[in-house]
Structure 1
């Protein structure tokens, strides 16, 4: 069964997405949606990474709230920085952050979080995975930013994926 339907929730999501995007429930679109929804996970199953084991689901919920809050706050900080850029230009810089994370799924989650929060961009992961280089739009204290980043994002991901 796993071979015919490797990711049932993904298949269902693809069927629904197809029908919503095409805005049609005609028999032809329904057939195409099911073909697409069931064929794509089978074709791309070899490319999917191993399923991560999430050890602390409540930490996931807390991390989602933290990231949501940080996105809202960072949007306001970036807006304020843009509005006062003539008086005080942003202190943009590249920051290298040492990482304790090693799990590929955790690193993928960290890169997504970094990219979603305005003002930070994931630039480069060291070949050995020991550090990441970020571009930070406005920071005056590099050490404080590193401590904040590790505490807010890396520590929960370590708990979720590796502890």
Structure 2
């Protein structure tokens, strides 16, 4: 019986539980119990979709990454707003970004981070998962976009996953 009570994705369970508590109208006994039930049940039901356990080698670096991402989202929002309000024509560019990441979850986090940042969107990944196609709203130089993403996002993700 206790074999069924395991958490196949402990990180997912923790994130689900914390998210449920944040979305609840205050912390109560009922919200904690419901959060625990969902944190156990959802990973159990989706276990077949997860090829392997979520592995962060240096998980303590994630809060720093999330803070950097949040600050970049705010900064990019201001930059895009200024661009729109100035009336200047943007210079949209498609960038073929060479990936050094190999872990599928790390690649997914990178693509999501790029898409969450205003002014950029990751639009495709090559079949061999070596090239990420990124659209930028306004860029002078393709190499500047590649360097910024490598230094701000990909290197910290490599430190977390490899």
TM-score scaled to structure 2, two decimals?
0.78
C-alpha distance in 2 between matches for 1:82 and 1:32: 44
1:13 aligns with 17
Distance 1:44 1:71, change over 3 A: same
Whichever of the two has the greater Rg, that structure is: 1
1:73 aligns with 75
- Where do 5+ consecutive residues of structure 2 fail to align? none
C-alpha distance in 2 between matches for 1:112 and 1:15: 18
C-alpha distance in 2 between matches for 1:94 and 1:109: 20
SS in 2 for 1:122: strand
SS in 2 for 1:3: helix
1:53 aligns with 55
C-alpha distance in 1 between matches for 2:20 and 2:54: 25
C-alpha distance after superposition, 1:50-92 (max 9, x if no partner): 223222234322212211111110000010011013xx21111
Distance 1:144 1:61, change over 3 A: same
1:99 aligns with 99
SS in 1 for 2:5: coil
Q: CA deviation at 1:40?
A: 3.3
C-alpha distance in 2 between matches for 1:15 and 1:109: 18
Is the 1:60–1:160 contact (alpha carbons within 8 Å) kept by the matching residues of 2?
Answer: yes
Q: How many residues in Structure 1 have an aligned counterpart in Structure 2?
A: 155
Is the 2:17–2:35 contact (alpha carbons within 8 Å) kept by the matching residues of 1?
Answer: no
- Name the Cα RMSD after superposition: 3.0
Which deviates more, 70-79 or 109-118?
109-118
Is the 1:125–1:131 contact (alpha carbons within 8 Å) kept by the matching residues of 2?
Answer: yes
> Is 1:124 aligned to 2:127, yes or no?
no
Is the 2:56–2:161 contact (alpha carbons within 8 Å) kept by the matching residues of 1?
Answer: yes
1:155 aligns with 155
C-alpha distance in 1 between matches for 2:130 and 2:76: 26
**Residue of structure 2 aligned with 1:43, choices 31, 39, 45:** 45
Distance 1:94 1:38, change over 3 A: same
